[in-house]
């Protein structure tokens, strides 16, 4: 089984990844932010039991990590992999993570809600991500009574998640829409349709490297299938527009287009110091070059790998110690060179 980022999913020229997550809370327990230590332990135990007890496949393929025992570096590495949210890094609760070996399926325990079930897939694969989440949800429901109300649906810590408690999202790479400025129109349209657009690392993050994350805002009054359908519809429209603009930009000035792509590629292959922001911008150019068949010697999945690898947390994990931002910029440059050279030869 392959991690999502080294798989090549459908429509991967524009859609980097699809994600579905469900929020669930136990009936008869307060929400995590006001639980007692004992209640936190009970939730952890009950969840582990529901997943692992007598289920040989789950026992083999899933592992449990005690988040409270991880240091800040290790937690940030999980944020960068989109497995936990960055708000949870400083969480004082006793929290845990149940993760599949391919890192696609995760269940966070005692985060903002008692449970967050998430499935991450490569490319445009919202349906399959939803099916996976649904299967895990059903498995858990065999043992656990979730807090549910006829009119409000699943009860969640934050009222914006009430109802289906589902969040469907797509990470899109939109360099041509950004270059031409048409991204503004897209963002306005999304707002009107109740779709939130964020940067690479969720709320309050910028769209570094031309990465935009679309997700539903409404969770109440619509069923899961309808929510997924509406996100899929708008995503397909954006894919179409992005593709047309890429071709147009290329046709308008082939040399200028290639110059930008190859210069970024040249810098990534040669730099000795590079910060995250510059790196993500240059990777965006290279990704575009690979998608358009201009750069043929590297694979799109390598760019996914590099994107995960170059984040501060991931780098510190590689270095196996806390390192200064200056050291990070040097190690980052070195890792990128190794990765790109390995790809070519």
Give the residue, chosen from 259, 277, 297, 322, that forms a contact with a second copy under the rule CB under 8 A.
259
Q: What's the DSSP call for residue 215? A: E
Minimum gap (Å) between residue 279 Cβ and a second copy: 13
Minimum gap (Å) between residue 258 Cβ and a second copy: 4
Cα of 135 vs its chain's centroid, Å:
20
User: By CB under 8 A, how many residues form the interface with a second copy?
Assistant: 17
Q: Does 269 bind a second copy (CB under 8 A)?
A: yes
**Across the beta sheet with 105-109, what order do the strands follow?**
62-66, 96-100, 105-109, 115-122, 15-24, 166-173, 211-216, 195-198
Stretch that binds a second copy, among 104-112, 155-163, 240-248, 256-264 (CB under 8 A): 256-264
Minimum gap (Å) between residue 111 Cβ and a second copy: 39
Residues whose CB falls within 8 Å of the CB of residue 271, separated by 6 or more in sequence, listed in order: 333, 336, 337
Q: What's the DSSP call for residue 94? A: -
Q: What's the DSSP call for residue 91? A: -
Stretch that binds a second copy, among 8-16, 95-103, 126-134, 251-259 (CB under 8 A): 251-259
Residues whose CB falls within 8 Å of the CB of residue 81, separated by 6 or more in sequence, listed in order: 103, 308, 314
Coil, strand, or helix at residue 298?
coil
Give the residue, chosen from 42, 74, 258, 305, that forms a contact with a second copy under the rule CB under 8 A.
258
Neighbours of 302 (CB within 10 A): 19
Give the residue, chosen from 14, 107, 265, 301, that forms a contact with a second copy under the rule CB under 8 A.
265
Minimum gap (Å) between residue 268 Cβ and a second copy: 8
Q: Does 196 bind a second copy (CB under 8 A)?
A: no
Q: Does 272 bind a second copy (CB under 8 A)?
A: yes
Coil, strand, or helix at residue 230?
helix
Q: Does 154 bind a second copy (CB under 8 A)?
A: no
- Give the nearer residue to a second copy in terms of CB position, either 117 or 295: 295
Q: Does 333 bind a second copy (CB under 8 A)?
A: yes
Would you tell me the crossing angle of helices 276-291 and 300-309 to the nearest 10 degrees?
A: 170
- Give the nearer residue to a second copy in terms of CB position, either 280 or 336: 336
Coil, strand, or helix at residue 62?
strand
Minimum gap (Å) between residue 153 Cβ and a second copy: 54
Q: Does 275 bind a second copy (CB under 8 A)?
A: no
What is the per-residue burial (b if ≥16 Cβ within 10 Å, else e) of 227-265?
bbebbbebbeebbebbbebbeebbeeeeeebeebbeebb
Mark residues 74-113: x for contact with a second copy by CB under 8 A, - for none: ----------------------------------------
Give the span between the Cα atoms of 213 and 210, in whole angstroms: 10
What is the per-residue burial (b if ≥16 Cβ within 10 Å, else e) of 125-164?
bbbbbbebbbebbeebeeebebbeeeeebbbbbeeebbbb
- Give the nearer residue to a second copy in terms of CB position, either 236 or 262: 262
Give the residue, chosen from 135, 194, 266, 297, that forms a contact with a second copy under the rule CB under 8 A.
266
Q: Does 330 bind a second copy (CB under 8 A)?
A: yes
| CB 47, CB 107: distance < 8 Å | yes
Maximum distance among all Cα pairs of the chain, rounded to whole angstroms: 65
Stretch that binds a second copy, among 72-80, 146-154, 230-238, 250-258 (CB under 8 A): 250-258
Interacting residues with a second copy between 108 and 147 (CB under 8 A): none
Mark residues 8-27: x for contact with a second copy by CB under 8 A, - for none: --------------------
Q: Does 30 bind a second copy (CB under 8 A)?
A: no
Q: Does 271 bind a second copy (CB under 8 A)?
A: yes
Q: Would you tell me which residues interact with a second copy (CB under 8 A)?
A: 255-256, 258-259, 262-263, 265-273, 330, 333
């Amino acid at each position: 089984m392959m991690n999502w980022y080294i798989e090549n999913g459908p429509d991967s020229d524009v859609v980097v990844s699809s994600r579905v997550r469900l929020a669930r809370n136990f009936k008869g327990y307060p929400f995590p932010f006001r639980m007692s230590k004992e209640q936190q332990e009970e939730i952890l135990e009950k969840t582990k039991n529901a997943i692992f007890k007598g289920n040989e496949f789950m026992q083999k393929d899933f592992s449990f990590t005690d988040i409270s025992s991880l240091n800040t570096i290790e937690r940030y590495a999980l944020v960068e992999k989109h497995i936990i949210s960055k708000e949870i890094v400083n969480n004082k609760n006793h929290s845990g993570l149940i993760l599949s070996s391919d890192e696609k399926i995760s269940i966070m325990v005692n985060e903002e809600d008692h449970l967050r079930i998430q499935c991450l897939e490569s490319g445009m694969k919202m349906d399959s991500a939803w099916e996976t989440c649904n299967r895990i949800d059903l498995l858990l429901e065999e043992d656990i009574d979730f807090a549910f109300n006829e009119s409000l649906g699943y009860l969640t810590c934050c009222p914006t998640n009430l109802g289906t408690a589902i969040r469907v999202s797509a990470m899109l790479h939109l360099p041509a829409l950004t270059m031409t400025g048409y991204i503004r129109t897209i963002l306005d349209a999304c707002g009107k349709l109740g779709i939130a657009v964020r940067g690479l690392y969720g709320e309050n993050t910028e769209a570094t490297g031309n990465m935009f994350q679309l997700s539903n805002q409404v969770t109440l009054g619509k069923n899961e299938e309808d929510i997924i359908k509406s996100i899929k519809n708008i995503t397909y429209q954006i894919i179409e527009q992005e593709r047309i603009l890429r071709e147009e930009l290329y046709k308008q000035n082939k040399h200028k287009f290639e110059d930008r792509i190859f210069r970024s590629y040249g810098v990534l292959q040669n730099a000795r110091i590079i910060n995250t922001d510059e790196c993500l911008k240059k990777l965006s150019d290279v990704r575009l070059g690979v998608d358009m068949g201009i750069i043929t010697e590297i694979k799109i999945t390598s760019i996914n790998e590099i994107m995960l690898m170059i984040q501060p947390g991931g780098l510190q994990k590689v270095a196996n110690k806390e390192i200064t931002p200056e050291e990070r910029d040097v190690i980052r440059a070195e890792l990128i060179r190794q990765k790109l050279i390995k790809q070519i030869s």
